[in-house]
Amino acid sequence: MTRSPASFLPAPEQAAALTERSLSPLAQGMEDSQIRAVASQVWALQAQGVEVCNLTIGDFVPAQFPVPKAFMERMVREAQAGQTNYTPSDGIPELKKAIADQYQRELGIDFGPESVVVGAGARPLMWATYLAFLKPGDGFAYGVPSWNTQYYDYLFQCRGLVMVGRPEARFLPTVEQVERVLPQARILALNSPLNPTGTAYRAEELEPVCQALLAENKRRERDGRPPCMLMYDQVYWTLTGPGVAHSHPLALVPELAPYTVYLDAISKSLAATGLRVGWAVVPPHLQGAFKSVIGHMGGFAPRPEQRAAAWYLAQPEQVAADRAVMNAGVRSRLGLLVETIEGMRDEGLPVDLIRPEGGIYLSVRFDLHGRRTASGQKLDTNDDIRLFLLHEAGLAVVPFQAFGLEGDTGWFRISVGAAEPAKVIAGLERLRTALRGM
């Protein structure tokens, strides 16, 4: 008689106790992303046939935002031609060179291919950065709202030095906030354009932050203390809005080179989140640690994608043409939202927004706390508001709490990566009706 392993698994009523006894304390305390939880509620409603305009996911629907054709075709050809083995753990030399050349060409920074470490998207490089510099209890400075940083704060058992964003500063950490936390920080994590807000640092805002970091590190150098590293996540840098120039630290304060790690990826710039190519630009004296982390975690990018990216990024005209199409698609959807929501605000409805500067996001405030819905339900929390918008207007958005900003501020993220213009128009119409009916 064959004995089925499945028959030895715990019954549902015993599973919770065994889970608790089995998992490490760290794993027991881990939380799944709240953004995913919100998104799965939307998918469940859609599966029941309910019309929902889904503005929750920080990803791209290929029907709206396809991966550039030239890149895709090249990737398939590379795979078919047998380019299917391991790559060096820090990436193939051709890709490292193409990235360094692109940064030189477009951002004016000249660090050379030896500073690039490639991985399977930006995330493994983010892990490598944390592993390279942080030990439990170290100060980790980051702003909220921001994408997933609160989870990393937990996973690396750091002492989070949280800078609470304010709408007046477009939710970006200000120099005053940074100066307050810097003396205790081992890493300062900044992201621009910022997910979830769609706002981006201007040079005059970022430069003082960089100067403060440089001054702090000079003091530490004199005392022989470990520097504070800047992790600058610029995965949305190619998606800045019209009239907005991407600001990045090394153009503003080149002396920060020994202390700066840039994160980037094709995930957002090529709408290729599932193809998994990202990179970090890391000073060469720190490369060894990054390569080891990527190698040991097996976090390298697939070879066909790396080969295709190396070829693609070295075609500036193709890159520019594809980017123009993608940016026009993002801007037209954001423009539609901005215009309609501003119209509602001007009509006296309780909504507000911060004009988008980059990325695929828009910060919107639904000032509905304490109000009653048409059916008499009182809205007390952001989650009440989210559910009201979902069920009464068929509009799905994510509260800033999912990005670590505590409190029922009324601020939400709208993402246009999956937004079909006709569905956005219909969703906004339902929103207007729902708000007018309150």
Q: What are the residues binding ligand PLP (CB under 6 A)?
A: 58, 121-123, 147, 191, 195, 233, 235, 265, 267, 273, 278
**Nearer Cβ to ligand PLP, position 111 or 152?**
152
> Number of helices and strands (H, E) in the chain?
16, 13
Residue closer to ligand PLP by CB (options 195, 409) is 195
Checking 152-155 for CB contacts under 8 A at 24+ apart, the result is: 152/126, 154/29, 154/30, 154/31, 155/26, 155/30, 155/130
Residue with tokens 């001007």: 346
Give the span between the Cα atoms of 331 and 335, in whole angstroms. 6
Tell me the closest approach of the beta carbon of residue 300 to ligand PLP, in angstroms. Answer: 13
Under 8 Å between Cβ of 143 and 115: no
Distance in angstroms (rounded) separating the CA atoms of residues 174 and 164:
10
Neighbour-count burial for 365-399, b at 16+ CB within 10 Å, e otherwise: bbebbebebeeeeebeebebbbebbbebbbbbbbb
Angle at 55 between CA 355 and CA 268, to 5 degrees: 75
Residue 253 identity (one-letter amino acid): V
The burial of 142, by beta-carbon neighbours within 10 Å (0-12 exposed, 13-18 middle, 19 or more buried), is given as buried
Q: Which two tokens stand for residue 115?
A: 């500073």
Residue 232 or 311 having the CB closest to ligand PLP: 232
166 vs 161, 171, 404, 425, CA distance in Å? 16, 5, 13, 29
Provide, rounded to whole angstroms, the least separation between the CB of residue 273 and ligand PLP.
Answer: 5
CB 304, min distance to ligand PLP, A? 17
Q: Write down the least CB distance from residue 415 to ligand PLP, Å.
A: 10
Q: Length of the chain in residues, anyone? A: 438
Residue 263 or 389 with smaller CB distance to ligand PLP = 263
Q: Are 106 and 262 in contact (CB under 8 A)?
A: no
CB-wise, 388 or 400, nearer to ligand PLP? 400
Question: Whole-number minimum distance, CB 59 to ligand PLP, in Å?
Answer: 7
In the bound complex, what is the minimum distance in angstroms from residue 7's beta carbon to ligand PLP?
39
Residue (358 or 394) nearer to ligand PLP, CB: 358
Residue nearest to ligand PLP (CB): 121
Q: How far is the CB of 280 from ligand PLP (least distance, A)?
A: 11
Cα–Cα distance, 115 to 281 (Å, whole number): 5
Considering the complex, state which of residue 134 and residue 190 has its C-beta at the smaller distance from ligand PLP. Answer: 190
Q: What's CA 281's distance to the chain center, in Å?
A: 17
Compare residues 358 and 427 and give the one whose CB is closer to ligand PLP: 358
Minimum distance from CB of 193 to ligand PLP (Å)?
Answer: 8
User: Which CB, 236 or 388, lies closer to ligand PLP?
Assistant: 236
Place of tokens 């949305």: 236
For 407, residues 6+ apart whose C-beta sits below 8 A from its C-beta are 401
Amino acid identity of residue 417, one-letter, is G
Nearer to ligand PLP, 58 or 139 (CB): 58
Distance CA 143, CA 356 (A): 18
**Min dist. Cβ of residue 417 to ligand PLP (A):** 10
Closest distance between ligand PLP and the C-beta of residue 130, in Å? 13
